[in-house]
Amino acid sequence: MKRALLLVDLQNDFCAGGALAVPEADSTVDVANALIGFCKARGDAVVATQDWHPVNHGSFARVQRTEPYSQGKLDGLRQTWWPDHCVQNSEGAELHPLLNTRDIDAVFQKGENPLIDSYSGFFDNGHRQKTQLDDWLFRNGIKQLIVMGLATDYCVKFTVLDALTLGYEVTVITDGCRGVNLQPQDGLKAFQTMSAAGATLMTLADFTY
Ligand code: VGL
Ligand code: ZN
């Protein structure tokens, strides 16, 4: 069975000092590098997603002239307004400097359309447009995904739910994920939602045992 490790949005802006810093995000990079080594040794593919917004993206509070982390509607969908983050070609959009990017086979960018947000690595939030990720995995015969990254309650959750809907078998590495936790339990709830939808939850130690 062919597998891929899918690293979600391990980017500077979600890490310490970044524009949308996720608590303890940097500690996921060690988990990612351990998994990359483990998966490469087994012959698994390694892919990554990258949040990649134009400077005028509609999810930015500045663009909407409102407060970061407040809520509204974008293209008819509930939307949290974010600080400017992961602007295309900015340092904040780069993958974490300590991440072993040499062993990443392909990177899939998302969030380029200024009119809609894209948490999932597969589709925008309205499921109107698809990225290249599903086609790439299909072409490579991959049916099983190991997923980790940032943030548990947004991009990891929606990537995993879409992967399950598309028919992938999904394992989430819990200690490789961290939540934004706008509400204190959001990350925990996201793990429960992913599990209820059919994902297997494991720690790095369980997975590499
Ligand atoms: C993300 C909020 C906005 C994420 C991306 O990667 O989880 N969260 N854009
Ligand atoms: Zn974003």
Question: What CATH number does the domain containing 129 carry?
Answer: 3.40.50.850
Q: How far apart are CA 125 and CA 173, in angstroms?
A: 23
Count Cβ atoms within 10 A of the Cβ of residue 200 and give its class: 0-12 exposed, 13-18 middle, 19 or more buried: middle
Give the whole-angstrom CA distance, residue 204 versus residue 209: 8
What is the enclosing helix (H) or strand (E) of 191?
A: helix 186-196
Whole-number Å distance, alpha carbon 59 to ligand 2 midpoint, is 7
Q: Spell out which residues have Cβ within 5 A of ligand 2, the ion.
A: 51
Per-residue pLDDT of the chain (209 residues; tens, 9 = 90+): 699 999 999 999 999 999 999 999 999 999 999 999 999 999 999 999 999 999 999 999 999 999 999 999 999 999 999 999 999 999 999 999 999 999 999 999 999 999 999 999 999 999 999 999 999 999 999 999 999 999 999 999 999 999 999 999 999 999 999 999 999 999 999 999 999 999 999 999 999 99
CA 119 – ligand 2 centroid, Å:
7
* Residue 89 CB-density burial (10 A; 0-12 exposed, 13-18 middle, 19+ buried): exposed
**Which phi and psi (to 5°) does residue 22 adopt?**
-95, 130
Answer yes or no: is 79 within a domain.
Answer: no
Active site residues: 9, 110, 155
Say how far apart CA 118 and CA 29 lie, in whole Å. Answer: 22
* Domain assignment of residue 185, given as a range: 3-55+95-208
Is 88 a domain residue? Answer: no
Please report whether residue 127 resides in a domain.
Answer: yes
